[in-house]
Structure 1
């Protein structure tokens, strides 16, 4: 009896020690990612067609954010460098950070909700719905009145994305409760329908410039970043992030299956619908501003899951930070790889994401629903 009690105490102490070590590693990783994001923001605004010293970028941002006069900005930098950093690059970097965080968050939530490692933010037909809305606005010249009409293509893209998500949820709920399989099948159907209608409009359109605009928009771009558009996007992503940070227990239960959820008294059907609606709104807001940026919501959760495991208490915050970091540097590459030009960021994320995903599939170095 004494030996058994001693073994139990030893096992308990080892479990406690492992939890402490894992918690310490997670805290260190989170702090490191926060520092990396901060350094990346200052570094990325210094890189571009006009090269700006890192120190000058740091002092310009510090003075503008805090309102303090440091006296460290040179006379030459106060004019040209200020306009380049504060009016052009900094809003774009912030948009990249918010978009990366939002797409990574939605990808993590979608993969848990439908219990499918291949799920991403566009699984509900959001991308094809947004494309249909944008195509409808650009090629047919339709607009909306009032304040919404001033947003032009973005307003129609958001309406298309949200309509597609609502149709998928409605289609998946026909004939009984919503399941992960029905959601995926409904998303496939709506994707195909919206894609077909978009191609139909493009085929009969006689607007070469409009077709080019649609092509560039569907490849994704952060060139439309402005101070006026950042507030809404940031508020939506931040609210969703705060909500999902406290939903880790439900998302962990989703990975265990329906039977376990029923035993624990959790209505997965209710939470799945709620998560899908919130993720659709976040993705729709991002798509209507940045266009379609693929692979971020698919790759980032897998990369993070291979390091921190499938516990969403750690997975969600790390995925948000890593998604921001990934998008900041992807955008830097997209706007500097071509001299005096810009490569659509959706092309860059696909070129980077596809090989990484193939490598992960071959090596099987990630887990889903387990370590």
Structure 2
């Protein structure tokens, strides 16, 4: 009976989160420089879904263009980024067995920053077109992930501590190279572009990019959901897992690479968005516990909801100006993190 009640409450939380996510998307579609009534939004969405013409076909009216070409792509991207970063936070915390871990802890953010800095100031990757900065950032993030794996396996098999140390070392190297490039480039406009990119934004969202990013993130999250047992074992440690007949070494490598792939695509599409993968998993653990079978889907939905609401707020906090998403997330995330530490509820399993 108790097990049935626990399953029912978990299902209820998921249903409520899906409902809130839909409500948040419609709310965010209605706000901005041009305010739109919910009825017009609903009709524009239904008409496009029933239509056989492409989304960007001309002659569909300003309401359709605002919703389908400007606001909805960025909200879908916000939901995908929130989902991906939150789940990556859960995975990284399990991999390194540290509740303070986040998707960027193993030097991934520094690698992305180095790639973006080199692209903006040196024009590396210009042949890839207008997305060359994001592609360079993705390449930097994924390359550093491979480097972390390589270094952590030198002199013996990697473990959570060696992964952390390798990540810290490569992060310092990437930061030093980024500073070196900025110092000698003497490009004021390029430095402003780097600073804006580091703050994160969903303004550049387009459907053709989402067709690639969304399936990758969703499939990766579903994969991690199927790995709940292994992730639970990682919290127990390698020695305990070995006594149960499971060697976590290869699983840790695979999970790190898949997480890095997600983070790389997130950086490619939205720049640097911090704190999501750190705060959301903590809060959800206090609600549903440490079992990854329940933790991963609830965390994914909460992360999506959180960034959709945050993106809406970024467009209305300052009139006629869009606040970079990274600034708002940091303003919300840092106090929340301090509160969790003060309440001593930041470890695996909350209280």
What is the TM-score with the length of structure 2 in the denominator?
0.95
**In the aligned structure 1, how far is the partner of 2:350 from the partner of 2:318?**
42
1:346-361 paired onto structure 2 within 5 Å: 346-361=326-341
In structure 2, the residue matched to 1:20 is 4
In structure 2, the residue matched to 1:50 is 34
Structure 1 residues 209 and 150, CA gap change in structure 2 (3 angstroms): closer
Aligned residues between the structures:
346
In structure 2, the residue matched to 1:29 is 13
Structure 1 residues 62 and 275, CA gap change in structure 2 (3 angstroms): same
In structure 2, the residue matched to 1:266 is 246
SS for the counterpart of 1:342 is: coil
The answer to which of 166-175 and 312-321 deviates more is 166-175
Aligned: 1:291 with 2:271 = yes
Q: Deviations over 1:59-115 (max 9, x none)?
A: 2112222439xxxxxxxxx62211111110000000000000000010001101110
Identify unmatched segments of 5+ residues in structure 1: 1-16, 69-77
In structure 2, the residue matched to 1:226 is 206
1:211-360 paired onto structure 2 within 5 Å: 211-360=191-340
**In the aligned structure 2, how far is the partner of 1:307 from the partner of 1:366?**
12
Aligned: 1:201 with 2:152 = no
CA contact (8 A) 2:10 2:294 kept: yes
SS for the counterpart of 2:315 is: helix
CA contact (8 A) 2:86 2:281 kept: yes
Match of 2:77 among 95, 98, 122: 95
Match of 1:106 among 84, 88, 109: 88
Runs (4+) off by over 6 Å? none
**In the aligned structure 2, how far is the partner of 1:213 from the partner of 1:355?**
28
CA contact (8 A) 2:108 2:141 kept: yes
What is the TM-score with the length of structure 1 in the denominator?
0.90
Structure 1 residues 56 and 276, CA gap change in structure 2 (3 angstroms): same
State the shift of 1:151 in Å. 2.7
SS for the counterpart of 1:336 is: coil
CA contact (8 A) 1:310 1:367 kept: no
CA contact (8 A) 2:282 2:350 kept: no
Aligned: 1:188 with 2:172 = no
State the shift of 1:49 in Å. 1.2
CA contact (8 A) 1:130 1:284 kept: yes
Q: Determine which structure has more spread, i.e. the larger CA radius of gyration.
A: 1
**In the aligned structure 2, how far is the partner of 1:40 from the partner of 1:89?**
13
**In the aligned structure 2, how far is the partner of 1:280 from the partner of 1:65?**
34
State the shift of 1:330 in Å. 0.7
**In the aligned structure 2, how far is the partner of 1:228 from the partner of 1:63?**
21
State the shift of 1:316 in Å. 0.2
In structure 2, the residue matched to 1:11 is none
CA contact (8 A) 1:101 1:323 kept: yes
State the shift of 1:206 in Å. 2.3
CA contact (8 A) 2:99 2:347 kept: no
**In the aligned structure 2, how far is the partner of 1:332 from the partner of 1:314?**
28
Q: Deviations over 1:5-27 (max 9, x none)?
A: xxxxxxxxxxxx21111100000
Superposition RMSD in Å: 1.7
State the shift of 1:250 in Å. 0.6
Q: Deviations over 1:21-44 (max 9, x none)?
A: 110000000000011111111111
**In the aligned structure 2, how far is the partner of 1:173 from the partner of 1:119?**
20
Identify unmatched segments of 5+ residues in structure 2: 53-59
State the shift of 1:259 in Å. 1.8
In structure 2, the residue matched to 1:13 is none
